[in-house]
Amino acid sequence: MTPSPAATTGGTTRGALYALGAYLLWGVLPVYFLQLKPTGAFEVVAWRIVFAFVFCLLLLTVLRAWPAFLRIVRQPRLMGLTALAGVLIYVNWQTYLYGALNEHVIETSLGYFINPIVTVLLGVIVLRERLRVLPWVAVGIAVLAVVIIVVGYGSFPWIALTLAFSFGFYGLVKKQIGPSVDAVSGLTLESFWLLPVAGIQLAVVASTTGITLGTAGPVHTILLLLAGAVTAVPLLMFASGARRVPLTVIGLLQFIAPILQFIIGVWVLHEPMTTERWIGFGLVWVALVVLSVDSLVAARRHRPVVEDVAEPV
């Protein structure tokens, strides 16, 4: 039976709200992670892996999703891809936490601003997808922006570029996995592969600076214990939204997170924003406008659009 227009509209609206909620949560993550001090980035990431895995095990039980999860475990190809996704998301998480806890929130926002352009570029290089003129213009403007930031600001934006490319490759892997792996099962397996890394990091932290869990007061302990839920909840909201709304809508909503991170970095944390940075960011924003306009025009013409959106961290 064909869904009624009202039902379709309701599902689309609900999906947009889910996606909006996910990006709003991702946007304010710097504020949450800053509350975890004096815990360092390596310990936060380790607990994030452990508690995300535990949280996902609980979700699999509550949602009765173990049969679907076990079907994935029996497929070596999917297991290998989830392991690769785990490595990439680890690099992304570790870089993001380092930036957020060391007064580089503005640069982390730059990474997620650049990410859609990197995703388009990887689609051309890796997947051999054909690109129209306007996306190439956007890529060129973004490259110019990075050059200006490097030359004018005097430092290479390695945090931003590591975030953009690790997330871009993560998106490519998730595209290869496709609908075969749901969000909960995917995050469960990605966290599972990273458990040895988390164990090593906690051992190193324990033998050097010392584990902070349970030592900095009850509020800090609760916030650290919530790291798994903070990781999983927006991811699940995004997955629910992405199934209900067009990719072009998701593509526009994804800018909410880096905009909020930028606002937090500039006006809440008062990180330095030099003239060169303003020019560089301005060029990136122009590139994103060009890319968005091209996506909207292509969608209206019912032509294939070279874009893919992965889940932020």
Look at the block and give the residue holding tokens 């869904």: 3
- Phi, psi of 45, rounded to the nearest 5 degrees: -65, -40
What digits encode the pLDDT tens for the residues 154-187?
Answer: 788 999 999 999 988 998 898 888 789 988 999 9
Question: CB-side exposure of 112: number of CA atoms within 13 Å?
Answer: 29
CB 170 within 8 A of CB 179: no
CB 95 within 8 A of CB 164: no
pLDDT surpasses 60 at 58: yes
Name the band, by pLDDT with cuts 50, 70 and 90, for residue 5. Answer: low
pLDDT surpasses 80 at 43: yes
- Would you kindly state where each structural domain of the chain is located, as residue ranges? 15-300
Residue 82 CA to residue 193 CA, distance in Å, equals: 8
Average pLDDT for residues 227-236, to the nearest whole number? 91
What digits encode the pLDDT tens for the residues 60-87?
Answer: 999 999 999 999 999 999 999 999 999 9
Q: What confidence score (pLDDT) does residue 207 get?
A: 97
Query: Residue 142's CB: how many other CB atoms inside 10 A?
Result: 26
- Phi, psi of 311, rounded to the nearest 5 degrees: -80, 130
Residue 177 CA to residue 38 CA, distance in Å, equals: 37
Q: What confidence score (pLDDT) does residue 307 get?
A: 45
Encoded tokens for 11? 């599902």
What digits encode the pLDDT tens for the residues 266-290?
Answer: 999 999 998 988 999 999 999 999 9
Q: What confidence score (pLDDT) does residue 10 get?
A: 61
Q: What confidence score (pLDDT) does residue 80 get?
A: 96
Which has more pLDDT, 12 or 229? 229
Share of the chain above pLDDT 70, in %: 92
CB 16 within 8 A of CB 249: yes
pLDDT surpasses 90 at 129: no
Average pLDDT for residues 209-227, to the nearest whole number? 96
pLDDT surpasses 80 at 57: yes
Arithmetic mean of pLDDT over the chain: 89
Instruction: For residue 311, give Cα distances in angstroms to 19, 35, 116, 125.
Output: 10, 23, 12, 21
Instruction: For residue 297, give Cα distances in angstroms to 18, 135, 136, 302, 310.
Output: 25, 12, 15, 9, 22
Q: What angle do CA 297, 302, 307 make, to 5 degrees?
A: 70
Buried b (16+ CB within 10 A) or exposed e, 273-307: eeeebebbbebbbbbbebbbebbeebbeeeeebbb
The number of angstroms, rounded, from the C-alpha of 210 to the middle of its chain's C-alpha atoms is 29
pLDDT surpasses 50 at 7: no
